[in-house]
A and B are shown apart, each in its own frame.
Chain A
Amino acid sequence: MSEELNKELYRTESRWQEGEYTVTRTSVWTAPGCHNGCGVLLYSKNGKLEKIEGDPNAPFNRGRLCLRCINMIEQVYSSERLKWPLKRVGEKGENKWQRITWDEAYDIIENKYNEIKDNHGVESIVSLVGTGRNSMWQPAVITRAIFGSPNLSFGFLSGDSCYQPRMTANLIKLGDCVISDCSQAHPLREKNPEWEKPEVIVVWGNNPLVSNGDGFIGHWLVDMMRLGTKLIVIDPALTWLAAKADIWLRVRPGSDAALAMAFLNVIINEDLYDHDFVETWTYGFDDLVERVQEYSPEKVADITWIPKEQIIEAARMYAKAKPAAIQWGLAVDMQMAAMEASSAITDLMAMTGNIDVPGGNIIQRYAYNRSKKYGSAIEYISEEMLLKRIGTYESPIHESGYTPFIPPDKLLECLETGRPYPVQMLWLQGTNPIANMAGEAPRVYAAMKKVPFCVAVDLFMTPSAVAFADVILPAAMSVERDSFRAWWTPLRSITKGAELYEQCKSDEEIVLDLGKRIRPDRFSQYNNIKEYLDQLLQEDGGVDYDFDTLVEKVNDFWDWDYTYKKYEKGMLRKDEQPGFVTPTGLYEFTSPLFDVWGFDMLPKHIEPVEGPYTTPELMREYPFVLTTGNRLWGCFHSEHRQMPTMREVHPDPMMDINPKAADKLGINEGDWVWLENRRGRCKQKARFNVGLDPRVVRGEHGWWFPEKEGAEPTLFGVFDSNINNLTTMGVHGPTHYGAPYKSTICKVYKVTEENDRVSPTEIVTRRGGFSYAKK
């Protein structure tokens, strides 16, 4: 990222010729996996991508790039990529495939669809998707508009615990989503005269430098630090940001709701809240005042393992800073009290008057409201069909449509029991559940094996594809696609800068191909992808231009998104009155909707189901609190393990342990160790983290080994180092949101020759799973 530009080289058009290279200026979003959409310059020759650079003229990333884009050429032209559609010829799990044409693949899928429709009903087709990338709306459209099934879900992400709790809490309390304001909403960035630097940013439950979650580039925090912003970091582990923070709160995993309530306690009782905002724009404050009295800093110090003085100091520092932002992340979602923590943290933003102010937490919608993401095509599902959604009517918030998924924990029960009906087909698009998001992965493996037919759309052969798929469709990467991005702002073009690799197709092409075959009444009007994208850009009051125009613009910042205090200006509500999109029109400290659904109207702490205060007897055998899923610089979730460059940075799965705790167990740094609890075990390599509480260990997620044999029982070693051998399914907060991925328990011991004779993957694929799970 550099300051001055060579304007002859770094032009602002969308495409130009530079010597022998055609340069395409656009953004990149999926694949590789990422939550962001950084601006890039694609240098191609004869349709082949030869070089890539960060686009210094993109206000979003200003030239900076992370490893995933820098390593683009290696990934796009990896010989490991899926090249053409494949049909299974051996048994499932044997990894034996036959090359077929796209027409043959579509014939198989269409025939199976017709058979299921006639004999079982289309609702028995279930689609699974991965995390937020440009493969969200496409499977939603395929499932709902093409197959006509209402059943779409995360790939067994227990408790929908990725951004859904935080977004849902935002939506219930203020009717919109808020994000921290590092000037990214405006094309002039820090030079926008209305913008102010956050005096303090609270980094809560994420390490954004590595994770870059939710459309937020983590290094924007470094930009802010360089301008003088102070940090409060809430993290069980010492991160680089925590080391640089004015205050680092080493929270016990899974106790964030209690901590947020203690912050509220201090801010209310010391009268540090924003009286104007609270009196004019909020509802239910007095009830919250009463509730927070149950959360004194003394009491919460015991719950969170954070000294009382630090809690008080941090609460004061946040409340007194004007403006201040909270940059929250996934750890808030991945606990029993996810909805409760999300609600209390949102209350902090409101109470301090930091909502939708410059340098605070600003209200954002998808640029020009252009993206429905997982909710796409729900309008095609009839009321009668909606009633057939699996598990949805056991979860009031899902039923009300806040999350457009069926609850993943209920889907697992459905697969296991065949109730309310057996699932006949799984459509996996951009998800590798048993390697990545599925809690209690061995249990999910056994359940998914029961489904008779499965299609996987992916870039590489994955353990999930080998274990379950009958047909595999090879997906295009971002640089081979025409698409667009509207997650927050700006609206960005995703323009093809390279010809398709072998016979891959983009997710959009797959939608159109299948749509024309199965539902020509809904798709025959589109002659090509661009016409379809035009429709998506323009329908329902979108932009007044077409896809080609967006390609020319590259970036289009939406002025709505960079307008501050929208609630004062009547910009949020359909009736154009000032206020928020809530039943009371106000920010709701107490949420009447929660009451209607039978939930507590106010936030509260919920203990993890396993831990020192809930299962002290278990702690004798499993003495560590286990937190999982800290992110890697080079790998996005379970992706990138077959990239030599990424594996040079991340050769092995690593677990973190305090050196004193390791010493007691005779563990040296670099030793392979087992992490084990009642559900199973996995092995990772020990890395010392001096900042980690000696009672807490961390384990990485997403590990499998493309270099190993794909066929079962090896299955790319998918269960050998899989931290989800230890996590849970079906254990979630009272609202059905939030699961304790980051707050379970385990023991740790060295791997030896004697205790490593049968690999975990063989135990799962050949011996019926770990003994506890079999009960």
Chain B
Amino acid sequence: MQKNDDAVRYGLLIDYEFCTNCHTCEVACKKELGLKSGEYGIKVLEDGPRQNGDGKWEWSYLPVPTSLCDLCEKRVAEGRKPTCVHHCQSGIMYYGPVEELVKKMADKPKMVLYSK
């Protein structure tokens, strides 16, 4: 695996339909980057729960990489995936060149792509 350079931009693709707010990405990231209490490299935001007119519930979580996220530069250099991607309990995070992730995004609704 490689990191960002002039030629290729890397990013994270997240299938947020299945994010459960398990906090694994947040804490794995804190441990990897050695962040203090109150600091996050990725933070999970919440929408809902709220009942729609049809009676169905709307309740989504969205992990948002912060400015502290370096896409696990050190891990990636070692040949690993970013720790959030590796440990995500739902297995819904993908790392790679943005162009490839865009193709993957076309396969399924409710995905979100973050470029770095």
Binding site for B on A (CB under 8 A): 1-3, 6, 8-9, 53-54, 56, 62-67, 70-71, 73, 209-210, 219, 222-223, 225-226, 238, 240, 242-244, 248, 633-634, 644-645, 648-649, 690-691
Note all chain A residues with C-beta closer than 8 A to B31: 70-71, 73
> Provided the pairs A6-B80, A691-B49 are in contact, do residues A1 and B87 lie with their beta carbons within 8 angstroms?
yes
- Contact between B22 and A633, CB atoms less than 8 A apart: yes
> Of B20, B79, B87, B88, which one neighbours A9 at CB under 8 angstroms?
B79
Most buried by A among B21, B28, B58, B87: B87
Is B57 touching A2 in the complex (CB atoms < 8 A)? no
Compute how far the CA of A649 lies from the CA of B50 in the bound complex, rounded to whole angstroms.
23
Q: Counting CB contacts under 8 A, is B114 at the interface?
A: no
Closest 6 CB pairs of A and B: A1-B91, A243-B57, A243-B59, A219-B89, A222-B90, A64-B89
Would you give the shortest CB distance from B47 to chain A, in whole angstroms? 11
Q: Which residues of A contact B37 (CB under 8 A)?
A: 644-645, 648
CB-based contact A690/B38 at 8 Å: no
Which A-chain residue is minimally distant from B81 (CB atoms)?
A2
With contacts A1-B90, A3-B91 known, what are 19 further pairs, Cβ within 8 A?
A1-B88, A2-B81, A2-B91, A6-B79, A9-B80, A67-B22, A70-B87, A71-B31, A210-B22, A222-B90, A240-B20, A240-B21, A248-B57, A633-B22, A633-B23, A648-B37, A648-B38, A649-B27, A690-B49
Across-interface contacts of A73 in B (CB, < 8 A): 31
With an 8 A cutoff between CB atoms, is B78 at the interface? yes
Closest to B48 in A: A243
Residue of B1, B21, B79, B89 contacting most chain A CB atoms (<10 Å): B89
Q: Report the minimal beta-carbon distance from B29 to chain A, rounded to whole angstroms.
A: 10
Main secondary structure of the interface of B (DSSP, over half): mixed
CB of A53 within 8 A of CB of B22, answer: no
Q: Which of B30, B58, B78, B81 sits near A645, CB closer than 8 Å?
A: B30
**Chain B residue at smallest Cβ distance from A18:** B78
Q: Quick check: is B62 within 8 A (CB to CB) of the other chain?
A: no
Query: Would you give the shortest CB distance from A36 to chain B, in whole angstroms?
Result: 12
Pull 23 A–B residue pairs with CB atoms less than 8 Å apart, ordered by A: A2-B86, A2-B88, A53-B83, A62-B91, A65-B87, A66-B89, A67-B22, A67-B24, A70-B24, A73-B31, A222-B90, A225-B18, A226-B18, A238-B49, A240-B21, A240-B59, A243-B57, A243-B58, A244-B57, A244-B59, A633-B23, A644-B37, A690-B50
Q: Confirm or deny: B67 has a beta carbon within 8 angstroms of a beta carbon on chain A.
A: no
User: A23 to chain B: closest CB distance in Å?
Assistant: 13
List residues of chain B with CB within 8 A of the CB of A242.
57
Given the complex, which residues of B lie within 8 Å of A67, measured CB to CB? Answer: 22-24, 27
CA distance A621 to B51 in the complex (A): 32
Contact A64 B91 (CB under 8 A): yes
Complex CA distance for A243 and B59, rounded to whole angstroms: 7
Q: With A and B bound together, what is the CA distance between A244 and B81 in angstroms?
A: 29
- Name which residue of chain B comes closest to A217, CB basis: B89
Q: Which of B48, B86, B94 has the most CB of A within 10 A?
A: B86
Q: Which residue on B lies nearest to A10, using beta carbons?
A: B80
- Residues of B close to A53: CB separation below 8 A: 83, 86-87
CA distance A732 to B28 in the complex (A): 42
* B38 cross-chain contacts in A, Cβ below 8 A: 648
- Asked if B86 and A1 make an inter-chain contact with CB atoms under 8 angstroms apart, the answer reads yes
Docked complex Cα distance between A445 and B104 (Å): 58
Answer whether A54 and B22 are a contact pair too, CB < 8 Å, given A70-B31, A648-B38.
Answer: no
B residues neighboring A (CB under 8 Å): 1, 18, 20-24, 26-28, 30-31, 37-38, 48-51, 57-59, 61, 78-81, 83, 85-91, 93-94
In the bound complex, how far is the Cα of B85 from the Cα of A62, in angstroms? Answer: 12
Chain B residues with CB under 8 Å of A209's CB are 20, 22, 89
Give the distance to chain A from B75, nearest Cβ to Cβ, in Å. Answer: 10
- Shortest distance between the CB of A253 and any CB in chain B (Å): 20
Q: What residues of A have a CB within 8 angstroms of the CB of B20 in the complex?
A: 209, 219, 222, 240
A690–B51 Cα distance when bound, in Å, is 9
* B88 engages A64 (CB within 8 Å): yes
CA distance A1 to B90 in the complex (A): 7
Asked whether A2 lies within 8 Å of B23 as measured between CB atoms, the reply is no
CB-CB under 8 A from B18, the residues of chain A are 222, 225-226
Chain B residues closer than 8 Å to A240, beta-carbon distance: 20-21, 59, 61
- CA distance in complex: A645, B31 (Å): 9
- Report the Cα distance A222→B15, complex, angstroms: 12
Instruction: Determine the residue in chain A with the shortest Cβ distance to B50.
Output: A690
Q: How far is the CA of A240 from the CA of B46 in the complex (A)?
A: 11
Bound complex: CA A226 to CA B22 (Å)? 17
Assembled-state Cα–Cα distance A229/B110 (Å): 18
Q: A residues within 8 A CB of B30?
A: 645
Complex Cα–Cα for A71 and B26 (A): 11
Which residue in chain B gives the minimum CB-CB distance to A53? B86
| Complex Cα spacing A53 to B57, Å | 35
Cβ–Cβ contact B78 & A9, under 8 A:
yes
Residues of B within 8 A of A70 (CB): 24, 27-28, 31, 87
Nearest CB in chain B: distance from A665 CB, A: 21
Q: Which of B49, B86, B93 contacts A243 (CB 8 A)?
A: B49
Q: How far is the CB of B64 from chain A (nearest CB, A)?
A: 17
**Distance of A40 from chain B, by nearest CB (Å):** 11
State whether B85 touches A238 (Cβ < 8 A): no
Chain B residue numbers with a CB within 8 Å of A645 are 27, 30, 37
Q: Closest residue to A67 on the B side, CB-wise?
A: B27
B29: nearest chain-A partner, CB-CB: A70
A1 to B87, CA, bound (A): 5
On chain A, the residues within 8 Å of B26 by CB distance are 649
Are B87 and A64 in contact, CB atoms less than 8 angstroms apart? yes
Chain B residues within an 8 Å CB radius of A225 = 18
User: Who on chain A is nearest to B61 by CB?
Assistant: A240
Shortest C-beta distance, B14 to chain A (Å), equals: 13
Does the CB pair B86–A238 fall under 8 Å? no
Inter-chain CA distance A63–B86, complex, in Å, is 6
For B87, the chain A residues whose CB sits under 8 A away are 1, 53-54, 63-65, 70
How far, in Å, is A27 (CB) from chain B's closest CB?
Answer: 16
Distance from A229 Cβ to chain B, minimum over Cβ atoms (Å): 12
Docked-complex contact B24 and A64, CB < 8 angstroms = yes
Output the nearest chain B residue to A238 by Cβ-Cβ distance.
B49
Shortest distance in angstroms between A310's beta carbon and chain B's nearest beta carbon?
11
Closest Cβ–Cβ distance, residue A58 to chain B (whole Å): 13
B10 to chain A, nearest CB (A): 15
For B61, list chain A residues within 8 Å (CB). Answer: 240
A65–B26 alpha-carbon span in the complex (Å):
12
